Chains A and B, each alone.
Chain A
Amino acid sequence: MSRPSVEEVVDLLRSEIRRPRSDLAQTWAVFVANLRIFLSYKTWVATETITTLASIIMYYFVGFLVEPDKLAVAGYGGSYIGFALIGVASTNYLWMCINRLSHSMSHEIREGTFETVISSPINLRSYVIGIAIRGFLVSCYFMLGAFLLGVYVLGAPLVLNPLTVTSAVILVLLLITSHLGIGITAAGVIMVFKKGDPLTFLFTGLTELFGGVLFPLYLLKDYGFLWTFAWVLPYTHALDALRKVLLLGEDIFSASVSYKIVILLIYSVVLLPLGLYFFRWGYDRIRREGTTTTY
């Protein structure tokens, strides 16, 4: 069959058909495109999977050095592998969620595709959400893998029943919403500063140290400022609640967990609009400076 002629292409373009802007369709398109790009980096997916699983195995062995009685003082039971598994899985998850957004943004700016996107009639919110969903989904893969290895291979004693699993899912969702604002802010910052992303680096570093990922936070009690600072981070609250649910079998209706849920909701409500504001700030600034593809 011969190729279409100029006339056929002209005929094809005689009708002007567009549908109203659908934020949902655009979000879906951004998500699908980003997921396909991610999956095309097969080596990265494989190495990252191995790294995540290796770190869980490492903490399994570290757990032999931790005395259960000392750990129990923290109020999460006596299993270090269970304690560390929740910490490592959730922090990895969080890091990926936050980092992915600014990473994708800098990648798009570097590749020049950002111009294509923002010169299209797309709602910026749809674009950010599309990328974010991809980040969450990919992070879920790693978190699920870590939990499966921890629970079914290494024997981490997590309390898994419909109520605790549902509570954990809700807490993970709140973990996302309470940190998404920071991720979006970081994306706005990276648009302007292009490289380095000080916000994500600082935040994820602080979270690992002060969130109590690998050690019980009560150890900071003697260091007044550090102890206070640790509880300023939304992650600390989310992790505390997650451990109470998955290690002690509490649920979202228990007083200590529902209190954390309220705190996480407040963080979400405050940080999300702030994130969108900073994203808009970054977007307007690079359009003023004409640096939409400068890296």
Chain B
Amino acid sequence: MSWIPGRCSREKIFIAPSGPRPGRYNECIRFVHSTRIPLDPFFPNTDLDLKCPKVVIFLAKAIEVIGVSKEYTSKERGRKRVVRAVDGVDLAVEDREFVGLLGPNGAGKTTLIKILGTLVLPTSGRARIAGHDVVEEPDMARSSFGWLHGETGGRALYWRLTAMENLKFYSALQNVPSEVARRRIDILLDFFDLVKDKDKMVKDFSTGMKVRVMLARSLLANPPILLMDEPTVGLDPNTADETRRLLTALNEELGKTILFTSHNMTEVERLVGRVCIMHKGRIIADESPSRLSRLHRDSEGIDVELESELGLDEIKARVASLPQVVGVSSARELGNERVLKLQVRDEAEAIFEVPDQLRGMGFTVTGVSRSKLSLEEVFLRLTRS
């Protein structure tokens, strides 16, 4: 095996003994492209006119953050103060992963995304996007991602240009050929319901419309990695839903890697396969939503849904008297139904015994399940502690 040198992704490409015919440049290029690794496709001909049997791709991580810290210096009453926005973060996102990055305000999410987006230089550590070091190879890194700038909202658009002009401008910056750009712009504008407003200046747009233009813009260059900073904020429920469906499809069908931030926990729970929770500059949890929920339960428990004419307090008192039940964590009404979270001695036994005992007490049990914390509850538990 030997390296393909040149401007291509030198960490990832090797030559192996079979595959595209020697010297067939286009064949090699097609193969490299079929892997959808964000290479600079225009590496020199001569490099690929090797005895080039087959290009074997060793996938780099889509996003790799190793011990990254970022310190900001601010002045407070004339004194210098160092704020550590990101504190030794390690994060590896595999190709085709859909990862949610959560955290309270000031947790360091935006700084981390800005480091990945090459806008902020890390104080220490290394970050790579599609295998390209964000400090040493910023141009290659920039060709690999589409970014929805969340924090700045519609500010990241030229307000005195029309939606169409904004998208054309951005596609030129992203080196999308004009005829391809034109087609993509037309369809994306149509998808985000902006066709009739495409020639209006962005300054006359509502917040939701600006977000839609930014969403279209982040997809224009069709990058393999999407950095989505609160992509559904400001969108109406229909468009937000369409956007979620689109992101899911892009991830599942086209294998886009997506790093996604949001304060909408239900949305995150629904979309992502993995959640990283940041707090005070560190990643304090990195699991799938369901595992997070299991890991952070205090004790064994079950959720019971039942129907009864009795009041909540009465129901709680009766349920608490059952031998398997240690306590009732919460009880709430949902129409005619009462939903109770019970702490139990043995979850495996309780899930069968408690419903029978409740029926024996005259309740109509409509549902029972092992209790789990919602992502929001996990988030609050982790970030409040």
Partner of A3, one of B169, B172, B191, B201: B191
Which of B70, B121, B158, B222 interacts with A111 by CB under 8 Å?
B158
Q: Is A288 within 8 A of B121, CB to CB? A: yes
Cβ of A21 under 8 Å from chain B: yes
CB proximity of B200 to chain A, nearest CB, Å: 12
* A14-37, CB < 8 A from B: 14-22, 25-26, 28-30, 32-33, 36-37
Does A122 sit within 8 A of B, measured CB to CB? yes
The A104-154 residues at the B interface (CB cut-off 8 A) are 111-113, 115-122
Contact residue among B160, B184, B191, B221 (Cβ-Cβ distance under 8 Å from A40): B160
- Cα A10 to Cα B41 in complex, Å, equals 22
Main secondary structure of the interface of A (DSSP, over half): helix
Question: Which residue of B is nearest A37, CB measured?
Answer: B160
A69 within 8 A of B: no
Asked whether any CB of chain A lies closer than 8 Å to the CB of B333, the reply is: no
> Which interface class (under 10, 10 to 19, 20 to 34, 35 or more) fits A?
35 or more
Q: How many positions in chain B have a CB within 8 Å of any CB in the partner chain?
A: 60
Contact (Cβ within 8 A) A4 B120: no
Do A4 and B190 form a contact, CB below 8 Å, given A287-B119, A292-B119?
A: yes
Say yes or no: A13-B254 contact (C-beta < 8 A), given A19-B177, A121-B142: yes
Whether A120 contacts B173 in the complex (CB less than 8 A), given A115-B156, A289-B72, comes out as yes
**Does B70 lie within 8 Å of A290, measured CB to CB?**
yes
Q: A120, B161: Cβ atoms under 8 Å? A: no
Q: B142: which of A33, A120, A290 is its contact (CB, 8 Å)?
A: A120
The answer on a CB contact under 8 Å between B173 and A117 is yes
Instruction: Tell whether A293 is near chain B: CB-to-CB under 8 Å.
Output: yes
Q: Does chain A have a CB within 8 A of B187? A: yes
**Residue of A4, A9, A16, A37 touching B33 (CB-CB under 8 A):** A16
Contact A26 B173, beta carbon cutoff 8 Å? yes
A residues less than 8 Å from B158 (CB atoms): 33, 37, 111, 113
User: For the complex, is A7 an interface residue (Cβ under 8 Å from B)?
Assistant: yes
Closest to A28 in B: B172
Which of B241-249, B269-277, B322-330 contacts its partner? B241-249
Number of A-B contacts (CB under 8 A): 148
- Cα distance, A20 to B176, chains bound together (Å): 9
Interface centre among A10, A18, A32, A284 (most CB of B within 10 A): A18
Pick from A6, A22, A112: contact of B246, CB under 8 Å: A6
Interface residues of B in 126-180 (CB under 8 A from A): 139-140, 142-143, 147, 149, 152, 155-161, 165, 168-170, 172-177, 180
- Are A21 and B175 touching (Cβ within 8 A)? yes
Residues in chain A near residue B188, CB distance under 8 A? 9, 12
* B172-A26 in contact (CB<8A): yes
A293 and B155 in contact, given A33-B161, A120-B173 (Cβ under 8 angstroms):
yes
Q: Given the complex, which residues of B lie within 8 Å of A222, measured CB to CB?
A: none
Query: Of all chain A residues, which has the CB nearest B174?
Result: A120
State in angstroms the CA–CA spacing of A13 and B252 once bound together. 13
Contacts of A292 in B (CB 8 A): 114, 119-120
Interfacial chain A residues near B283, Cβ < 8 Å: none
Q: Is B289 an interface residue (CB 8 A)?
A: no
A26–B143 alpha-carbon span in the complex (Å): 14
Q: Which residue of B lies closest to A17 (CB)?
A: B180
In the assembled complex, the CB of B297 is this many whole angstroms from the nearest CB of chain A, namely 36
Q: How far is the CA of A16 from the CA of B147 in the complex (A)?
A: 17
- Contact yes or no, A9 B173, CB < 8 A: no
- Give A residues with C-beta under 8 Å from B: 3-4, 6-10, 12-22, 25-26, 28-30, 32-33, 36-37, 40-41, 111-113, 115-122, 284, 287-290, 292-293
Beyond A112-B152, A121-B174: 18 further Cβ-contacts under 8 Å? A4-B190, A6-B245, A9-B249, A10-B246, A12-B183, A18-B174, A18-B176, A19-B177, A25-B172, A33-B169, A37-B158, A37-B161, A115-B156, A119-B119, A122-B173, A288-B121, A293-B152, A293-B155
Closest 3 pairs between A and B when the two form their complex, measured CB to CB: A112-B155, A29-B172, A120-B173
